[in-house]
Structure 1
């Protein structure tokens, strides 16, 4: 799906990411051409319906986008796109967004179907433009339109009867609408790590009503890095997943926490993305028959995102990490992590969630 024909003039990392990622996977021999049935590329998918979209968004959200697209078709701006809140739309944005969301749903269909014939289903990875992570309740921003991961979670419940869905978010940004859409839902657990500098979500925002305890916000300080993420995974993500016992795991996979990403506030390395992918794969195998779908979210630099996604694929197929080679090539300089602040954040989170 080609999206935002001129967006590269404003944010080159968003538009060109998917072709760069596919090229990196090919160079790493992580494509069906080299791996046969071990890696399958799904090229046939349906568009999402309004019923799918409104499983997460309110009635007027898709209407608003469609109206902005119609206005873009008739206006004569300087560039071939139109502003909607803090985002850009072209005359294909509405259809592209439905296609992206629908591709995620088709991937859920594939993973669920595969799990019925195998002890462990293959991991799914949705390389979707546009992404859907960084959307406030009433605005469009962050080059996101429909919340693909949340839409997939609700779809898995409605269509496949998978009652309990765990959403794991490791993007620097806060997954606004996902948090709010499921805040009172006890069967969709939303676990988000994000920058405390940019988002002032509170640790004690843990859901409400029947959903109390099914939301976990973990704002993390500037300089958060590999050691901190390993501790977060071992001490927060793993016990929460084991306690919740999901039928499906969905991952909002943001790679903007890399130390060399120009827009992030963290200092993760590609080796940590390998660790997260392999660890979440094991969790899915242990807890829900391997049913797990990753959704591509944040990440500005094409080279960083491409290699980090390739690292995730290496973890999925059990190949050794190539992270040290990449870090050496890009000479990533790391500062000391704010270990005391990270430890305090983890302990407070564990206390609030009794883990």
Structure 2
């Protein structure tokens, strides 16, 4: 039986003046990947910690919905939809060396995509100021034709496409601070001038994409900002990247909605990367994005869970994200890395010059 957590809105004296929503559904735990790094214990750890630190009761529950074929087809080829369904219906299997499917994975992926759309709808319809979709399987590596990198359908891209098609938003910024480049999201909006995609990622690292020279193509040229960071980048480097590149780029684009692909696998304790970010470092990033959303688009911010494979770092990273959205403090109980950061001043200056960011 899947664990259950409270789903009612907290209305007591501790309720925050800021309304923040979250999406969760037990079916996300039924995407059974065995001992794969991306497994159900990730969401269990997040939800347990939110309850333990008293944040969960301060949030507004948003019901996860099941995405339709039409929702998925905004980004993905029909053949991918049918392939994932077929593999799940026959009991599961491996889509590639990294990506595992079980009998329930197709349904879980549809609810992950639909749940992210539901979170976006709630924000754009002013039911909440901001929201966090706690979904799995993750999505930002999934391309039009391929499930890859633990991802089946691209949740954040599908949400952006829905918002554009519904007319609720005309310009969207997607900020991706997962340690891996979101190749699927970058591909989806490569030529779309309505979407700014910004990625901060370790480079080189899977999937090997995301060079700083990539700017988008055609009508979308200038709407892709890759910030490939060397192994050993930590809080100082990410703070510099936000101040020097992310914040001015988002202000220049002036979106009506900010979406965030939130991966906590750049934490110094994560086993799948070589970065030195702390929980406090993630807090700074989310504080910056909350401020940008309030400055530019009436606070409209939707965070979508991507990676993060050290359970304590993942659960506290997600909690500090909610705390930032609620304007509340959160302690970094894991502390800072003892590693030596790599200087990135010259890299940031080069990227700023390439993209005309002063």
Q: TM-score, normalised by structure 2?
A: 0.88
Q: How far is the alpha carbon of 1:6 from its aligned partner?
A: 4.3
Match of 2:334 in 1: 326
Find runs of 4+ consecutive structure 1 residues off by over 4 angstroms: none
CA distance in 1, matches of 2:356, 2:299: 26
Match of 1:84 in 2: 95
| Mapping 1:53-202, distance limit 5 Å | 53-72=72-91, 81-86=92-97, 87-114=99-126, 122-136=129-143, 138-198=145-205, 199-202=208-211
Q: Which runs of 5+ in 2 are unaligned?
A: 1-26
Q: How far is the alpha carbon of 1:302 from its aligned partner?
A: 1.4
Contact kept, 8 Å, 2:131 with 2:302, in 1: the verdict is: yes
Contact kept, 8 Å, 1:3 with 1:130, in 2: the verdict is: no
Match of 1:272 in 2: 281
Q: 1:224 to 1:318 in 2, by over 3 A?
A: same
Selected match of 1:40 from 46, 49, 60: 60
Question: Which SS does the other structure have where 1:193 is aligned?
Answer: strand
Q: How far is the alpha carbon of 1:280 from its aligned partner?
A: 0.5
Selected match of 1:214 from 209, 223, 244: 223
Q: Flag the structure with higher helix content.
A: 1
Greater displacement, 221-230 / 172-181: 172-181
Q: Which runs of 5+ in 1 are unaligned?
A: 73-80, 116-120
CA distance in 2, matches of 1:240, 1:319: 27
Q: How far is the alpha carbon of 1:276 from its aligned partner?
A: 1.1
Q: How far is the alpha carbon of 1:15 from its aligned partner?
A: 1.4
Question: Which SS does the other structure have where 2:260 is aligned?
Answer: strand
Contact kept, 8 Å, 2:79 with 2:145, in 1: the verdict is: no
Selected match of 1:263 from 272, 283, 302: 272
CA distance in 2, matches of 1:139, 1:53: 13
CA distance in 2, matches of 1:114, 1:128: 21
Contact kept, 8 Å, 1:171 with 1:194, in 2: the verdict is: yes
Report Cα offsets for 1:24-60 as digits up to 9, x if no partner: 111111022xx3xxx2122x23211111112111232
Report Cα offsets for 1:9-35 as digits up to 9, x if no partner: 232x53111121111111111022xx3
Q: TM-score, normalised by structure 1?
A: 0.88
Match of 2:247 in 1: 238
CA distance in 1, matches of 2:52, 2:29: 24
Selected match of 1:29 from 39, 45, 54: 54
Match of 2:262 in 1: 253
